[in-house]
Structure 1
Amino acid sequence: MCAELGGDQHAVAVGTDLAVPQDRDRLAERIDELGAQVDILVNNAGLGIYTKFGAEGRDKELQMLRVDVEAVVDLMLRYLPGMVDRGRGAIINLSSVTGFQPAPYNAGYAAAKAYVLWLSEAVHAEVADSGVTVTAVCPGPVPTEFQAANDADFLVSRMPSFAQVPPERVVADALKAAERGRASVVPGAPHVRAFLESSRFIPAPLAVPVVARMYKR
């Protein structure tokens, strides 16, 4: 990454299993050892389960929640106070348009992303006068390794191709939204945002049957 950016960029990779509290402790300890100051926190790690709730077993459901929810909360609690004390900083949390509605056959993931969305928007309001921003990024389908890693390739073919947003656009829109102090953003061109954001305002009794058909294998 540093080679791609060029210049005097510097990065340190710290292998961490965010589902394990002790690993998160070691990550924080390593940051302290480096004398680094966290000015921008990006919670981007995520796991997904695309089948009936519980079908993959208790351990997998709980592991997903530890990564998608617990780790987000933990890292925010570790680094938000310092940002507020310094009067500057940004937290970018990856949510999803999936969090706009209950999602049968993707129940735990959708609930986790809804949690991240509402948490981000609420904390954004709490720190509004501090110089710190908290932004939830809610992309639609993004062509990355996430689908293959979580056995969800079938979903991409069920979404309109125009609604798929390149990861580079997601990054650019996320950074722009944080810089502008927005509580949330749906990345993509205006027509893509309009299409994806519309699901946020559809009554759940109407949306859930449609969502179920999309996620059911």
Structure 2
Amino acid sequence: MSEYKFLTGLTSGFTPVIDAGFSLEDYRHIDLSVQNEILSQAQLDAPEAFQKYLDNFLLAQGGQIPWGGYNEHRGLYRRSGLFSAATEEDLIRNIHIGLDVWAPVGTGVLAVLDGRIHSFKDNNNFGDYGPTIILEHEFEAGKFYTLYGHLQRESLKDLQAGEKVKQGERIAALGDASENGNYAPHLHFQIIHDLQGKEGDYPGVANRKELEFYLSNCPDPNLLLKMN
């Protein structure tokens, strides 16, 4: 991952990707992996039950914003055929390659860097991103993209590809379960080196067989956000 060291120099410290009213002290890292024995599949299967789990986590840990999930093997995706239709274990998509920030519906989503709108789409399958925006960024070290998923549908209204955005600019808001793919409200944030010709969408969950490629193509978002 040494080729992505330049990313760390693009932000000077903690860089919010949601409403700047939250400070770094409000964030708490959360484990949503299959190793978390406290988290049951029943809690994962329903947005309301999962939100209650998040609320209880914050009551115990303090803070306001749970975050985490890069390169995390999760049971969350068992409920959707979009990820779990494969019959071979190595082909089941269950390893998260973005970073999630869990926050209330309507929370503003901020551009992490200067860039332009590359594409956008409502990926409205069960368990999918729902409304999604992809930004394109160009620097001396090269071009890459950032993906913002699980948004409100209203966030896609009047967008235009090529439109410029500034770092810290509000570009969207978080959607609820009826529009965000049937999840508790949160942002999926992902860095992508090569979009492979896709527009408004890119895999955010990988299978074990292809994991090495996806981790190489999608470096840790915390290189930019610096949450820890």
TM score, norm. by length of structure 1:
0.31
Larger radius of gyration: 1
Higher relative contact order (CA 8 A, sep 6+): 2
TM score, norm. by length of structure 2:
0.29
Higher helix share: 1
